Structure 1
Amino acid sequence: MNPLLDVRDLVVRHGPRTTVDHISFDVAPGETLGLVGPSGCGKSSTAMAVLQLRRPAGGEVWFDGHELTSLNEKQLRPLRPAMQPVFQDPYGSLGPRHRIRDAIAEPLRVQGSWDRTTGPARVAELLEQVGLDLSLGDRRPHELSGGQCQRAGIARALACEPKLLVLDEPVSALDPSLRAGVLNLLAELQERLDLGYLFICHDLALVRHFCDRVAEMREGRIVRTTPAAPPSPPRSPAATPR
């Protein structure tokens, strides 16, 4: 199976400083790759470069058969709906003045695919898909909990039916009691929609629990990529239950 996302020798610079130094990784359809490392190691710079929100200084980003770094903004526009971000701050990413239903509808309007007849039903479907009551659509972000806001952010990311979500610390701002619910939601959505996830996090234990593979990043470089959890050793015949 060809990768959905294939990053090759990526370089990102902030002024004279190299924050991402020739890294390579890939994500298959329906797979979760965890990108883990300490603050300042280049994880978020990688996410921005994958999404082409920051243009890399070198390397290639292949997504769904297209090499993105060679495309101008007009050429990128039809590809953007298929790769969507979910950011760390659920309140800031939705916009404080927007009602939740308007924030979810915004990507459809930006892409020119909003329809007055079917649009409200699509927003209602998305709210239901992420486990939010339809009445919450009339509220603004400050009237929701952090977990509810992050669910709304996920609904917003799903509006244009993406193939890849770039999840940049999606649960680190949530209380521990809310994290499991959001992670379970992401797992359910992935199984149902066959989404690929680039899951960026600083918590190695969480990444090993949630992801299929783990790429560990230090000082702008990926130092190792491993399966998230080693397979269980086979049972000896004597231990096999009858």
Structure 2
Amino acid sequence: MSTPVIPPPRRAADDPLLDVRDLVVRYGPVTAVDHVSFTLEAGETLALDGPSGCGKSSTVSAVLQLRRPDAGEVRFEGRELTALTERELRPLRPRMQPVFQDPYGSLSPRHRIRDAVAEPLRVQGRWDDAGGPARVAELLDRVGLEPAHGDRFPHELSGGQCQRAGIARALVSEPRLLVLDEPVSALDPSVRAGVLNLLAGLQEELGLAYLFICHDPAVVRHFADRTIEMRDGRLVAG
């Protein structure tokens, strides 16, 4: 049975790309996210700050619908995601993509970089329509990798190169939103600026929105348009 094609609903010009309302996530008796609300505009970077265990990861998991929230709404491109079945969500997922903290753990050690970047297109059945090999080669070049890097396995790349490959994999689906979960914290200080500059350039070029998790105040001040802070599952500033 083929995956249904769900066109995005019409969105008013002044509506945010992402609108999170009264989000609640519980794990048994523990409330990890307690009525959190925020918006994110197209082309904007919103930083989500706070100590470990404050609910940031649970929030972004609920935004991406990797973990269904217990209450609240997540509206993306005007569509209320929590009301959709998994089958209805499937064609929307490519437009919201994560970039994880661990550049090596986010890619299969058994796949060459070129195949790892291509995998989402194959899973979505868009390999031929998207131009397959040409699309992968274009993205590797766009993130600053050489063609030879595509033939290597993740362990054969540096941390910065591997994170660039992870960014290319996220971009291959042509998303509108990237969820950046500590994307530079595992990298050497000497390569962090290069990856952040790459993300800034991609945002300007492609109009991407970023939901950005980071513990480094200097990076947040430099990179984010706005910051909201969480403590004990609640927003305390923003």
How does the TM-score come out when normalised to structure 2?
0.92
Selected match of 1:42 from 55, 72, 77: 55
Pick aligned residue for 1:11 from 24, 36, 43: 24
Question: 2-side partners of 1:31 and 1:199: how far apart?
Answer: 10
Aligned to 1:234: none
The answer on whether the counterparts of 1:39 and 1:202 sit within 8 Å (CA) in structure 2 is: no
Partner SS state of residue 92, structure 1: coil
Q: What residue in structure 1 maps to residue 214 of structure 2?
A: 201
1:150 matched to 2:157? The reply is no
1:1-80 equivalence runs, <5 A: 1-80=14-93
Q: Deviations over 1:68-120 (max 9, x none)?
A: 00101000001001110001111011111110001000110111101299201
The equivalences for 1:1-242 within 5 A come to 1-115=14-128, 118-225=131-238
| Counterpart residue number, 2:11 | none
2:85 partner amino acid: N
Once the two structures are TM-superposed, the CA of residue 14 in structure 1 deviates from its matched residue by 1.8
After superposition, what is the alpha-carbon deviation per residue over 1:162-219, rounded to whole angstroms, capped at 9, x for unaligned? 0000011111111111110000000000000000000011222211211000001111
TM-score, length of structure 1 as denominator length: 0.91
Aligned to 2:92, what secondary structure does the other structure show? Answer: helix
Q: List gaps (5 residues or longer) in structure 2.
A: 1-13
Q: Tell me which structure has the larger Cα radius of gyration.
A: 1
Find the residue that maps to 1:52 and give its secondary structure. Answer: coil
Q: Structure 2: which amino acid aligns with 1:195? A: L
Amino acid at match of 1:66: R
- Closer/same/farther in 2, CA of residues 33 and 150 from structure 1, 3 Å limit: same
Distance 1:132 1:23, change over 3 A: same
- The aligned residue for residue 230 of structure 1 is none
- Matched residues in 2 for 1:70 and 1:164: separation? 20
Give the percent of matched residue pairs that are identical in Structure 1 and Structure 2.
Answer: 76
Paired amino acid for 1:185: L
Q: What is the CA–CA distance in structure 1 between the aligned matches of 2:167 and 2:32, rounded to whole Å?
A: 28
In 1, distance between residues paired with 2:147 and 2:31? Answer: 45
SS of 2:180's partner is strand
Q: How far, CA to CA, are the matches of 2:64 and 2:129 in structure 1?
A: 29
Most deviating of 58-67 and 204-213? 204-213
- In the comparison of the two structures, how many residue pairs are matched? 225
CA–CA separation in structure 2 for the residues paired with 1:211 and 1:27? 12
